[in-house]
Structures are given as structure tokens and as C-alpha cells.
Chain A
Amino acid sequence: MASLARLRLPHARLPLGVRAIQTTADTTQLHTPPSDHSQPFTVKLHEDSFRSHQCEKPELEVEVSKDQLLTMYRQMQTMRRMEMAADSLYKAKMIRGFCHLAIGQEAVSVGLEHGIERNDRVITAYRCHPFAVMRGGTIPGVLGELLGRQNGMSKGKGGSMHIFTPTFFGGNGIVGAQVPLGAGIAFAQKYSGEKSATFALYGDGASNQGQVFEAFNMAKLWDLPCVFICENNKYGMGTSAERSSSNTEYFTRGDKIPGIQVNGMDIIAVLQSVRYARKWAVEDQKGPLIMEFVTYRYGGHSMSDPGTTYRTREEVQRMRSTQDPIRGLQRYIEDWGLATEQELKQHDKEAKAEVDAAVEEAKASPFPTDEHLWTNIYQKGTEPPFMRGREREELHYY
């Protein structure tokens, strides 16, 4: 894998002298090889892994452990498999509706989870499947939801964009709408004196919605423990960041809120930056922070978009072959002597088997019954006496 090219993405309108963020997935260096694999050890990130705005950059020295790296590898691989399974189920017309996959962006969802604590809260847009699993959901639960089955995490009532866990607030289909919710969740955390933060994710396209700026202002005004994360995958549907945003330095768009930009393809950089952000918001109580993960989606925006009309096949191919987050981590693990290629292949097999089993489990789950139509509209016991049905005098009485 030594052929992984060091490729820098062309960054539009970067002022002279400013260095671009690295998006290579495999430039982190190991100084002293660990003698004991059960002990944490230190690696050094590429110096262009971060840029910052009105704050210090995170340290480049990162403490990691063999266990953690292998777990992250396994999780990223499993998430990609799950998304690929969703892709096939969609193409087989078993999943209907709108479905957005996060293939290529795995370092964000998995890296985020490794840098935060269980009682932190996460909220994102519709590209949500991996987050739902990382935040305590299950793969059969996600696939079941996509298939609209009873075992789905929202009982099959929502579909792809509508998946929740006790610490994950969805899955939100209206672009930008989740961001002020994140500020509100963070307020409630602060109000109740919880030592935790909210991580509110949105896309480069979403960053132009007015309510995103409204949320920034409230968060700074009230110093909320809210970390706003822009997942900059360079496109909002077919519109490139440069065409949608007057300022594509998303980490600088918070006015008085400091920000850091992060190589979102190197999971170790993601991990380090999330630890930094959590310390900022929770331990140091410095209020909100903006993070920008520079990443890339390999597939189309949603299942109906081939993803090649507004960007070249070469661009996608280049990202896949040179900056893939999973191959990057694989290279670290092999180069640092933490596991062999064969051992990792075994992980891949197990990931595939796990997803295959989840597909079968989800497919075997029944569709919701018509009784489910009338539930979860109002709180049980507080409904109107009846709701209208679809046929002659068909009324549902509660």
C-alpha cells in the first residue's frame, strides 16, 4: 500500500501562504514501536491534519492503543458493509423511499464515537445509518428500519432518515433543521449540570441554511456545550461547496465561535480532534466550537443519483484509491505491526458475516400491522377520542 499518493485536494480561494488541510488517510507516523501491545502508545499526525480559527490546534501527538485501532477498523469495515447491503436491498427494490449512504465517510462516525462519552448526545441529518449503530443501535435495527419492518429502530414507521437511540437524536430529513435542536439539547445538558456535550452534525450544503447561523448565535450567547460539526464532503447533492458557499472554510463561519478544520479521512486525526472538542466544551466549559471534517462520499447523494454528473469519475476514483479511511487505518495497523493482513482479512470476513446475518434478520421481520398506523401520533391516553380512517366510516377509536 506504499503507493497511496499524497494528494491534496484543490482548495479554492485559499489565501497565499495558507496551507491546505491534508486529506490523506495514512500519513500518521509511529516514532517508537510499542514493545508491549497491551499498552497505549503515541503516534504523530501529519502537521497539516488540522487548521484552526481563533483557537489552538489540537496536539499532533496522539495516544492510541492496539485494541482501539483494531476496534475502529472492524467498526468502519462493518459500517461500510452495512451501507453496501442497504445499497443492494435498495436496488432489489426492497428498500423504498429515500436512502443516503455514508460510504467514504466512515472515519467521521466511528472516530466521533471513540472520542466522546456515552452520555454525550449526537444529532445529524439523513446520512445517519452508521451514527445510529455507533450510538447504541443495531445493524438489524437499522436495516429493518430501511426495509420498513417491525424490527426497525423506529418500528418501521420512519425509514432511512428516521433512526434514533437514547443518545442519538436522529436522522433528520429537513436539511439544517437538526442544528438548532442540537443547541437546545446542549442547553438542557448544561441546565441540568450534566458533564456532557452535544455534537450536532450537518453538511457543507446545510451550512447555508439560516437556522444554522441562528443556532450558532444562541449557542455562543448562552455558552452552550455544543460542538457543531460540518461534514464537508465537498458536495450538497450536485452543487459543489465552492458553488454554494461564499466561504468554504466552514470552520470559520461561526463569527465569534472558534473552529478547527480536520482531516476527516484519517480516523486518528478525527479521534484526536473530537477529544479536543469534548475537553473544550465539557471540561474547560469554553462554550461552543465549530469543527469541519473534510471528507468525501463515494456514492451518489442518494440512491437515485449516480454521483458522476457533477464530478468526474476520476475524482471519485482518486479519492477511493488514495484517501480511503479504511485502507489508511489498515496500513497503520500493518505497518506498526499490530496485526497482519491475514488477521485483518479475518475481521473483514466477520464484518461481512455479521451484516449478512442482519440482512436476513431484518428481511424476516414482518411489516407493521395496520394497528401501528394509529400509534405514536399522540401520547397514549391523551389522544382525541378517535381519528379518521381511510374507508367509509372507518374510524379508529382510542
Chain B
Amino acid sequence: MYTTHLGHSCRFLRASCLNPISRRSATSAAEAPPAGGHLPSVATSNLLQVMRDAALRTPGITWADEDPSSPARNIVGGRETRKMNTYQAVRDAMSIALLKDDNAVVFGEDVAFGGVFRCTMGLAEEFGKERVFNTPLTEQGIVGFGIGMAMLGHTAIAEIQFADYIFPAFDQIVNEAAKIRYRSGGQYNVGGLTIRTPTMSVGHGGLYHSQSPEAFFMGASGLKIVIPRSPLQAKGLLLASIRDPNPVIFMEPKILYRSAVEQVPIDDFELPLGKAQVLQSGSDLTVLTWGTPVYHSESAIHMLSSPPPGLEQHIPNSLRGAKIELIDLRSILPWDVETVTESVNRTGRLVIVHEAGMTAGAGAEIAAEVQRRCFLKLNAPVKRVTAWDIPAALHYEKFLVPDSIRVVDAMIETLSY
């Protein structure tokens, strides 16, 4: 039970803290949580594609072997999918990139051994040590080196072992990678550079293994930032990132490496950058999120319509029928203003959920833009559910990052404003 030592402080849940409902059963309202642990809301999620057909018809998918200018076909015959978790899907994408592009290389700390999260497992054996290699421990060097390679038109797929370690490379990313096209008047670019890095919390990562630094890079025009929510999304978005003609930071939510499992097409395909995806449509409130909290938000929506016994008393009957729209932003920079504002103009209410702290988190930028573009349609202030503005300390992590309860609480507040 993870409410033991701080549980009494959760005001909204106070009553339910006293009676024996567990937080865990609350986060997976539909079914009992899996015995293996992980993130219960992922294990029971409806957002993960378990059927081949649905996986092959993923919205926005483009196949590398189809001419993008020819009319979209709806035939998926002949294509196969395979069950993969997120690290396997990431590996699959890199394997395709290495196979199809002789100038592509993968490098980073310990990647030749498979990497901390096994994303590069076997790639060195398959493609050779000249193409998949360990670097010294030098984040600034890794990114600078990748920038140099990319300036010669090569495809540099760099790994920063944890997003928390990206800060030594901050200057290279913000001042060099992001600005080189501009400051050379278009003579040079580092479109071939992709920086992969594991992000977000794992439950007990502590100060330097649980941060979500995406917003630090939001002001660096020239960069793209992508955060996938699932294996299929990771593969398609990573291939698109590697091939995008701009430098991309690709942040992989580390708790999803193993816990998110999906049918993933084995062919070469991409999903579009800069495009959000509406995962569930609704007319009363928009929940906008990315990465791990996609699943907490899904659980929260379920909780709102059919509250588990311990929560019933807190969820007004009048709100249970509310139609909630759930959007996965996927690209943080540039973010899909169109999809988000179109949605909020319909629903009139927006809740933004992210794992980074609130102050100057990505939600701040989005909220500012939404209030400008949707001002007259808004029925409630834009609500942000985020981490607190404190360091990610060891024992507080579960209380630091948003969970379903906090999301449901925010939805109730926004709906009843």
C-alpha cells in the first residue's frame, strides 16, 4: 500500500483513506490489478492495440513501401504484426533505420550491451560494432559528436542514458543543434540527429532518475520533442523522428518499456510528428496529456463514469454521464495547437496532465495559448494536474506525480466550475 505514511494528507481521499479501499484498486477500476505489479492502469488499458487489424489501421500511419502521394489504401492484407513491449518496439525501429540507411549509427553509454533498458539489445551483434557503439561517459560530448556527424548528412541516433543526464548536454542541444540551421543561413542542418532518452518516473527513481525535462527544451525553436505512449506509437514516431529533417529529442517513458505491450506492425512505418491523437472523443471536457499519464487519465475517465465503491460518495451523480475527450499530445514541440483548440472550443473545458512540475511546465504554454484562442468558449479555467514544484525526492515519488485520483478530482472541479 503506498498511502501508508503520507496517505492522511490526501484531502480529497480522506474518507476513503479511512475505509479499506486501496489506492491500487482505485487506479484500475475495471479489473483487479495484475499480480506482477507494474502500472495497473497500463495492464488493463483499452488504448493498447491487441488486435492485428486495429494495429495495422492505426490513424495517421504511413507505410514506407507505399507511395505517400497515391490515394490512401485501406488494405492491410499481407502485413504482419508482432506482440512487443516498448523497448522491443524501440529496438525494432532502430533496427529498421540501421538496415535501410547505411549512414545510420547508434551510440551512447553502454548501448553496445543493450543499454540500461535493453532498447539496443543485439543491435551491435546484428549491425557491427562500428555502427552500434559505446561512448565514454560524456553527455556533452555525445551530443556534440552527433551534431558533427549530422552536419555531414549522417544519421546519428544518440542515447542519453536517462533524461536526468541530458543537462550536461543542454548547451549542445539548445545552442548548437537547435540553432545551426539558422545561424548558418541554411547552409548546415543537423536533421540527421535524434536523441533518445528515457524519461518520467518509475515509482522509486529518486532525484536523478525520475525527472521529465521536456519543457526545458520547449523554447529551443529548431528542435522537435516527441514522447510516445505505447510500443506501436514508439516505433512509428521514432522512425519518423530519425527521418525528420530536424533534430529531435525522443523521450521514452521508462515505466512503459516493459509494462506496455501491444501488437506492432513489423513493417517499416511512420506516424506523424506534430500531430496529437484523439484517443476518445467527448463533448464536455478535454483531457490533454502525454506519456505515462495517458493511462492514469484513461483510468480517471473510467472512474468518473463508474466509480469504484470507495470513491462513489465523492463523485457527484450529475457528473457521471459527462463525455470526456482524451487527447495524447505526442509531440511537445511543435505541439498540435489545431487539434487541441478545436477540441476545447467544442468542450469548453480543459485539464492538462503532465509529470513535470507545474511552474513553466509544458502545460503553462498550452494553457496560455488555449485561453487566447478559446477564451469565449471556455466554461472553466484551464486546470493543470502536474508534479509539485519540488525535487523528485525518493520517498515522495508516488505523491509527486499525478495519478488517476488527482485527475478525476481535477475533472470534477472543472466540470462543476
A residues in contact (CB < 8 Å) with B: 96-98, 148, 156-159, 161-162, 173-177, 205-206, 208-211, 236-239, 243-245, 309-310, 366-370, 373-374, 377, 387-392, 394
Contact = CB atoms under 8 A, between A and B. Distances in A.
Contacts of A245: 136
Given A310-B113, A388-B389, A392-B410, A97 B206 contact: yes
B37 to A, nearest CB: 11
Interface of B: 4-6, 9-12, 109-110, 113, 134, 136-141, 164-165, 167-168, 203-209, 358-359, 388-391, 393-396, 399-400, 406, 409-410, 413
A176 B138 CA distance: 9
Contacts of A392: 11-12, 409-410, 413
Given A98-B208, A158-B207, A210-B140, 6 more contacts: A97-B394, A98-B209, A157-B394, A173-B207, A237-B110, A368-B395
Nearest to B134: A239
B136 A98 contact: no
Most chain A CB within a 10 A radius of its CB, from B141, B164, B206: B206
A309 B137 CA distance: 19
B394 A96 contact: yes
B378 to A, nearest CB: 19
B11 A391 contact: yes
Contact of A370 (B9, B140, B389): B9
A309 B110 CA distance: 12
A176 B137 CA distance: 9
Given A174-B168, A238-B110, A390 B400 contact: yes
Nearest to B413: A392
A208 B137 contact: yes
A374 B410 CA distance: 22
A237 B108 CA distance: 13
A97 B388 contact: no
A366 B6 CA distance: 11
Given A244-B136, A367-B395, A97 B11 contact: no
Q: Which 6 A-B pairs have the closest CB atoms?
A: A96-B204, A208-B136, A159-B394, A367-B5, A148-B395, A97-B206
Contact of B396 (A98, A373, A388, A394): A373
Contacts, number: 127
B371 to A, nearest CB: 19
Nearest to A203: B137
B138 A210 contact: yes
B365 to A, nearest CB: 17
Nearest to A243: B134
Main secondary structure of the interface of A (DSSP, over half): loop
Nearest to B133: A243
A98 B137 contact: no
A216 to B, nearest CB: 15
Given A148-B395, A370-B6, A390-B400, A209 B138 contact: yes
Nearest to B9: A370
A306 B205 CA distance: 19
Given A97-B394, A162-B207, A238-B110, A394 B5 contact: no
Contacts of A373: 388, 390, 393, 396, 399
B91 to A, nearest CB: 17
Given A156-B395, A368-B395, A391-B10, A374 B390 contact: yes
A377 to B, nearest CB: 6
B394 A148 contact: yes
B205 A97 contact: yes
B394 A391 contact: no
Most chain B CB within a 10 A radius of its CB, from A158, A175, A390: A390
Contacts of B409: 391-392
A149 B7 CA distance: 16
A388 B385 CA distance: 11
Contacts of B389: 387-388
B38 to A, nearest CB: 15
A157 B393 contact: yes
A208 B135 CA distance: 10
Nearest to A148: B395
A292 B36 CA distance: 45
30 contacts: A96-B204, A97-B209, A148-B394, A157-B394, A161-B208, A174-B164, A174-B167, A174-B208, A175-B137, A176-B137, A176-B168, A206-B137, A208-B138, A209-B139, A209-B140, A210-B138, A210-B141, A236-B109, A236-B137, A238-B134, A239-B113, A244-B136, A368-B395, A368-B396, A373-B388, A374-B390, A388-B389, A390-B400, A391-B409, A392-B11
Contacts of A390: 10, 388, 399-400, 406
Contacts of B134: 238-239, 243-244
A175 B393 CA distance: 19
A176 to B, nearest CB: 7
Contacts of B410: 392
Contacts of B208: 98, 161, 173-174
A309 B409 CA distance: 47
A387 B387 CA distance: 12
A370 to B, nearest CB: 4
